[in-house]
Chains A and B, each alone.
Chain A
Amino acid sequence: MVLVVRDFVNSCHTNHDGEVIYNQIAQSIFDGRQIFVSFRGVSSVTSSFLNSAFIPLLNKVSFSQIKANLKIIDSNKAINDSIVRRFKQEVEAVTM
């Protein structure tokens, strides 16, 4: 399944933007189904967006399961670095 972010939000900057995307992807991740999230037309994401779109997934599934099923496509280096960095911050905080 492919979810194009811009079909649901105009930008990836606010908590609200993130909540909209989370509601679209969460069940797939929880069910162990792969979902491709396309950032076509998006050039940046903020921590607020990531805090609401992706980080809450960790409340219910492991980071390994997220990596296996959440596929980020049509993105750019800045966005990808932000996503990886944000997840690492949460995962490393738990393991400390």
Chain B
Amino acid sequence: MHRIYVPSNFDIGDVAYFFEDTINTITSLNLTEVCFDFTRLTFIKPAGVVSLWNLVDLIGAKFPFIQLYYSIPDGYVQKPLLYPSVDYLDDSLFFEKVMGKRQHVASKPRSTTNGLEKLHHGKYNLMYIQNTISWLKGNVSLRKKSFGVLETALGEVFNNINNHSRSVIGGCAFAQHYPKNKEIHLCIADTGVGIPQKIRTKYSHDQLGNPLHRDCDAIMFATRAKVTTESTPGNRGMGFDNLLAIMGNNKGSMTIVSGKGKLTYDYNASTIISPDKIIIDDAAHSLPGTLIMLKFKTDTLDIEEEEDLEWS
């Protein structure tokens, strides 16, 4: 049986290569059985978690006759703490959602994670947003905070998936709270057409007349206000622009990976290097669909307070 080793370090920078390499391997070798081997995994973050599930689902959709197996370290069941990354995946419900059961009997969701959740195609997934906010408010240090901006951010991303991605398998989401760093990380990914391809269905150049040759240029263009491929009549192209405004007000950061393109907005980025705090680049490998990582600062969240709107 062919073994595909999950990368030892699996974060946002590793996702595109792993997707591309896995799909190419299955295709070129005409595999009918594949074993995902987790024995080399030493470090994984939310982007890796959501990407693993999306990859498994994508393989199921592209290669419906393939049999998938999974291999975890032999000693994990007896001594899970010796394998913290596998333990983290287990507690994140990855093995339960993908293999049908948790691997260790004592595995349970951690208070700092919201558990992996599937986002269904064509459905708004309001319940995921509500559950995420309930989970955050369960943390004593965050109870009085207003999470409206997180809800809006998730809403903008979910609308983008529903209106534009055409992802047959939907996508998935995962959230983690880092209390020491005072951050909340939300990672949402789909395996649809991707932003660059979608943008190029309507635009060949940006607002300055520059050709959208690179995928990162297409992503950058998509974040501009009023840029829309008008997949539905209500689209006016403000979703990504709103997302950038939210992350800027929060003093947080946002990374979008789609195709070969990557865009990172970081409030704390050096304005000498990047005046608008945005860095874009194309990688060597292409990620099908779109992955968005939002990193919110918790100490800049407002306290929940009711107010009426004062028009200026």
Contact = CB atoms under 8 A, between A and B. Distances in A.
Interface in B209-242: 225-226, 232-236, 238-239, 241-242
B147 interface: yes
Interface string A35-48: 00000100111111
Contact of B159 (A14, A79, A83): A14
Interface of B: 124, 126, 129, 133, 146-152, 155-156, 158-159, 162-163, 225-226, 232-236, 238-239, 241-242, 245, 249, 302, 304-312
Contacts of B305: 76-77
Interface of A: 10-11, 13-15, 18-19, 40, 43-52, 55, 67, 71-86, 89, 93
Nearest to A50: B238
A61 B226 CA distance: 21
Contact of B302 (A13, A18, A77): A77
B17 to A, nearest CB: 33
A74 B304 CA distance: 12
A44 B151 contact: yes
A79 B148 contact: yes
Contacts, number: 114
A85 B245 contact: yes
Contact of B238 (A18, A67, A73, A86): A86
A11 B232 CA distance: 19
B307 A75 contact: yes
Nearest to A46: B155
B159 A74 contact: no
A85 B149 CA distance: 14
B124 A77 contact: no
A75 to B, nearest CB: 6
A85 to B, nearest CB: 7
The 6 closest A-B pairs by CB, nearest first: A15-B234, A44-B151, A72-B309, A78-B148, A47-B238, A46-B155
A78 B302 contact: yes
A45 B148 CA distance: 8
Nearest to B243: A47
Contact of B156 (A19, A47, A67): A47
B306 A74 contact: yes
